[in-house]
Amino acid sequence: MIARRHQVALALTALLTSAAACQARDHQPTDRPGRPAPAAARGFTLVASGDILPHTAVIDRARFDAGGVGGVAGVGGVAGSGYDFRPMFEGARSVVSRADLALCHLDTPYGANGDYTGHPLFRSPPEIAQALAATGYDDCSTASDHSLDDGAAGVQRTLDALDAAGVRHAGTARTEAEGNSVTLLRAGRATVAHLAYTDDTGGQPLPPGQPWTVNLADENRIVADAKAARKAGADVVVVSVHGGTAWQDAPDDRRLALARTLTASRTDGRPDIDLILGARAHVPQAYEKVNGTWVVYGLGDQIAGEMVNRQGVPDPRGSQSTVARFTFGPPARRGGRWEVRKAEFVPQMFDIDAGRVVDLDQALAQGAGVAGVRDRIRDVVLSRGAAKDGLVMG
């Protein structure tokens, strides 16, 4: 069984190498590396992916890929130097880098001085930030139940590393002013606001006198922040929420109620929120159009080590995820809403043996036996009737 898993891992690694080579040959004209040149009239495409949750095995793999612990020399040519997460994300790069705006969910804070841990308190290598930038991510939500695993210092290190890599962020803050600010991003001609929240901080207390360190999910606050983002110039408001019941394919009642409340909020007849992205469930969950607004209840874990579910059993669903891809069109009239013209999902898995993100459709096209995984993800994603509203598998 173990030999078979390693054979599959090697095959998927070969697939990823081949896909990367094809992408390099098919490179499109861009206004920045990896991105299609914007056309003024076409609107924009936004992608969002699931939890990045580096367990110890994931950290060890990045160490190996950098040339450490028995690996060959890494990108810098020096064996044993640091951690390299870029190969891990390669299978997602073709989808991420071609979007006008790409969002990730960073579940864990960064540690320092080699003190990196995977569970139960996460302290991740800051080299992840460089990999996110290289993959094409523009911005990450950072509010989660692990945000305070290393206290305020961990938040500081995480946001400093993202800033250094040129990746924006939303959901945690180093100062009160930052906590009260709105993350505004450009996507073609549109200004997009990204707001991020978490249901809780995993039992870790907020730093004394610093309640703004992590955004806690409260429907009234989320609506107020969305209205403020619109006043600050946002054409599109995206809300990321880390919460819900883990290991459930179906969203829980609280997620359903929150979606209804947030999507019902309007100002002068225009929805205050244009897209909702969910994280934390560890498994892919349904997409649904609620009150005319797309909701992704759970994207799943994009990167994580082997996980056990509530019954204490290793659960392969913890390595499955989707990338949401929404193409927004400009409003028909001044002051109108940017509408989603096309809604798609891209099924992915994280191959634990290979330590690589795998695009399942690409893998299938090249002969890998992952049809069952792809079909299970598809069935869950469409389980609340999103197909009738136009959601398709990308």
Pairing between β-strand 44-53 and β-strand 101-106 as defined by DSSP bridges: parallel
Contacts of 67 (CB under 8 A, 6+ apart): 73, 74, 78, 79, 80, 81, 84
Residues of the chain with pLDDT under 50: 1-34, 37-40, 72-80
Contacts of 306 (CB under 8 A, 6+ apart): 55, 57, 314, 318, 319, 352
User: Taking the chain, what is the end-to-end CA distance rounded to the nearest angstrom?
Assistant: 32
pLDDT at 78: 39
* Token duo for residue 219: 């429907």
* Token duo for residue 241: 């929420």
* Phi and psi angles of residue 155, each rounded to the nearest 5 degrees, phi first: -60, -45
Q: Which fold has domain 2-393?
A: Purple Acid Phosphatase; chain A, domain 2 (3.60.21)
> Rounded to an integer, what distance in angstroms lies between the CA atom of residue 279 and that of residue 256?
14
> Rounded to an integer, what distance in angstroms lies between the CA atom of residue 145 and that of residue 127?
21
* Token duo for residue 2: 């173990």
Output b/e per residue, 74-92; b: 16+ Cβ within 10 A: beeeeeeebbbbbbbbbbb
Contacts of 224 (CB under 8 A, 6+ apart): none
Element (H or E) spanning 373, and its range?
A: helix 371-381
Q: What is the pLDDT of residues 246-274, one digit of tens each?
A: 999 999 999 999 999 999 999 999 999 99
pLDDT at 70: 52
Angle between helix axes 219-231 and 253-264 (nearest 10 degrees) is 30
Q: Where are the domains of the chain?
A: 2-393
Query: Across the chain, where does the E strand assignment appear?
Result: 44-53, 101-106, 139-141, 168-170, 183-187, 190-198, 236-242, 266-267, 270-271, 275-279, 287-290, 293-296, 301-304, 320-329, 339-351, 356-359, 392-393
- Residues constituting the chain: 394
Q: What is the pLDDT of residues 218-228, one digit of tens each?
A: 999 999 999 99
